[in-house]
């Protein structure tokens, strides 16, 4: 396809070459609406609901909405554009798009607000941000930039499913868990890693723990409330190495497997916990004396009693 093939399909639409041309072409919201309609349906309106062709009903008070004469369903001209669900007039958006596409040095949101005569800085910032997001490269001609800024483009490729994006970061040749070799080798996460040593994977602009995402992909739901490791390998994302549990379950698992460092929990400290408890000391006092949490003291003593 030629580089500007997507632009040529709108070559029947005029592009203002000067401010005077712009003011004549887009003098009100109705003129802007007719321009959008011509961009969406060059050969005439086609209802997206029933595919009926023909002149639609128009409302003087809502120029961006067309009503099909056959099925009576309404269609918004701003759907699938940066103007979707906007409360700002179309003239403001068109004037903004013209400024962004024709002003070479660019402008700040404050200047944008002043030029458009907007009362709220936030509105100017949001319009400017959305329009800039539509501009992909420098050097494109003004008509192409203007068209792109208003979102008058064909949709790009759909994003890949989560599981496909996720699997490209997995190494299936991880080590066998020393204490549970029957589980098979760990599947190690090779993507982003958090400060606490767990993998990170981004879903809808939110960073999730990689092993939680692995559970979600396998089960179709998020773990309730946590995903814990049988293999004790933070970067492992193999579903069979994961189980659901709470933070208390994780602490109990840590105590049972002696996963804490000797500095925190040694056999000597465990013995001292038992002795202090026998002397009648509270768990809180024992925790403060040994420099550990009260929850860890409680779980340790419960396991010793059960044993």
The answer on 118 and 204 residing in a single domain is: no
pLDDT in tens, 36-94: 888 888 888 999 888 888 889 988 888 888 999 989 899 888 888 878 878 888 888 88
Helices (H) and strands (E) in the chain, counts: 13, 9
Q: pTM here? A: 0.41
The answer on 166 and 145 residing in a single domain is: no
Q: Is residue 299 part of a domain?
A: yes
Q: Is residue 137 part of a domain?
A: yes
The answer on 191 and 143 residing in a single domain is: no
Q: Is residue 62 part of a domain?
A: yes
Q: How confident is the model at residue 204 (pLDDT cuts 50, 70, 90)?
A: confident
Please, what is the angle between helix 121-133 and helix 90-102, to 10°? Answer: 60
Residues 6+ apart with CB under 8 A from 165: none
| pLDDT reported for residue 188 | 93
Q: Is residue 25 part of a domain?
A: yes
The answer on 33 and 167 residing in a single domain is: no
| pLDDT reported for residue 215 | 93
The answer on 180 and 116 residing in a single domain is: no
Task: Identify the sign of the CA torsion 133, 137, 142, 143.
Answer: negative
Burial class, 23, CB count within 10 angstroms (exposed 0-12 / middle 13-18 / buried 19+): exposed
Which whole number is the average pLDDT over 260-282?
77
| pLDDT reported for residue 139 | 47
The answer on 215 and 88 residing in a single domain is: no
Q: Residue 247: is its pLDDT beyond 50?
A: yes
The answer on 198 and 76 residing in a single domain is: no
Bond preceding residue 225 cis, omega within 30 of 0: yes
The answer on 270 and 234 residing in a single domain is: no
Decide which of 172 and 153 is more confident.
172
The DSSP-derived string for 132-175 is: HHT---TT--HHHHHHHHTT-S---PPPPPHHHHHHTTEES--P
What is the share, in percent, of the chain residues with pLDDT greater than 70? 80
Residues 243 and 215: beta-carbon distance below 8 Å: no
Which whole number is the average pLDDT over 222-246?
91
Q: Residue 6: is its pLDDT beyond 50?
A: no
Residues 226 and 246: beta-carbon distance below 8 Å: yes
pLDDT in tens, 109-133: 788 788 888 888 888 888 887 777 7
| pLDDT reported for residue 103 | 65
Please name the residue that has the structure tokens 């003129």.
31
What is the share, in percent, of the chain residues with pLDDT greater than 90? 14
| pLDDT reported for residue 7 | 42
| pLDDT reported for residue 120 | 83
Q: Is residue 48 part of a domain?
A: yes
Point out the domain boundary residue: 125, 149, 173.
Answer: 149
Task: Identify the sign of the CA torsion 177, 182, 185, 191.
Answer: negative
Q: Residue 198: is its pLDDT beyond 80?
A: yes
Q: How many domains is the chain built from?
A: 3
Q: How confident is the model at residue 290 (pLDDT cuts 50, 70, 90)?
A: confident
Range of the structural domain that residue 294 is part of:
261-306
E strand or H helix at 219: helix 210-219
Q: How confident is the model at residue 211 (pLDDT cuts 50, 70, 90)?
A: very high
Q: Is residue 265 part of a domain?
A: yes
The answer on 288 and 224 residing in a single domain is: no
The answer on 270 and 297 residing in a single domain is: yes
| pLDDT reported for residue 106 | 63
Decide which of 144 and 290 is more confident.
290
Residues 45 and 55: beta-carbon distance below 8 Å: yes
User: CA–CA separation, 127 vs 133, rounded Å?
Assistant: 10
User: CA–CA separation, 228 vs 197, rounded Å?
Assistant: 14
Q: Is residue 255 part of a domain?
A: no
Average pLDDT, the chain: 80
Maximum distance among all alpha carbons in the chain? 93
Q: How confident is the model at residue 235 (pLDDT cuts 50, 70, 90)?
A: very high
Q: Residue 2: is its pLDDT beyond 60?
A: no
| pLDDT reported for residue 138 | 45
The answer on 140 and 166 residing in a single domain is: no
The CB-side HSE value for 153 (13 A sphere, CA atoms) comes to: 19
Q: How confident is the model at residue 171 (pLDDT cuts 50, 70, 90)?
A: very high
Decide which of 238 and 298 is more confident.
238
The answer on 71 and 12 residing in a single domain is: yes
Q: Is residue 251 part of a domain?
A: no
């Amino acid at each position: 396809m030629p580089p500007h093939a997507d632009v040529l399909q709108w070559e029947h639409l005029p592009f203002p070459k000067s401010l005077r041309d712009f003011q004549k072409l887009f003098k009100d919201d109705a003129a802007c609406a007719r321009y959008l309609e011509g961009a969406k349906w060059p050969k005439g309106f086609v209802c997206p609901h029933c595919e009926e062709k023909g002149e639609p009903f128009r409302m003087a008070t809502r120029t961006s909405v067309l009503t099909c004469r056959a099925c009576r369903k309404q269609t918004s001209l701003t759907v699938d554009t940066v103007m979707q669900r906007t409360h700002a007039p179309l003239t403001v958006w068109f004037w903004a798009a013209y400024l962004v596409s024709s002003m070479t040095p660019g402008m700040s949101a404050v200047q944008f607000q002043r030029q458009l005569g907007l009362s709220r800085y936030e509105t100017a910032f949001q319009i400017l941000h959305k329009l800039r997001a539509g501009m992909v490269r420098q050097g494109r001609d003004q008509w192409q930039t203007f068209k792109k800024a208003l979102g008058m483009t064909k949709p790009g490729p759909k994003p890949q499913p989560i599981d496909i994006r996720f699997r490209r970061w997995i190494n299936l040749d991880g080590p066998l868990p020393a204490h549970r070799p029957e589980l098979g080798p760990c599947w190690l996460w090779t993507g982003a890693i958090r400060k606490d040593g767990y993998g990170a994977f981004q879903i809808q602009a939110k960073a999730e723990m990689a092993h939680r995402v692995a559970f979600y992909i396998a089960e179709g739901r998020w773990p309730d409330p946590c995903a814990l490791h049988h293999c004790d390998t933070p970067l492992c994302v193999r579903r069979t190495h994961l189980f659901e549990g709470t933070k208390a379950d994780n602490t109990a698992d840590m105590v049972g497997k002696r996963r804490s460092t000797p500095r925190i929990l040694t056999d000597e400290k465990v013995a001292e916990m038992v002795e202090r408890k026998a002397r009648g000391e509270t768990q809180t006092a024992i925790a403060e004396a040994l420099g550990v949490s009260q929850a860890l003291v409680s779980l340790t003593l419960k396991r010793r009693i059960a044993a």
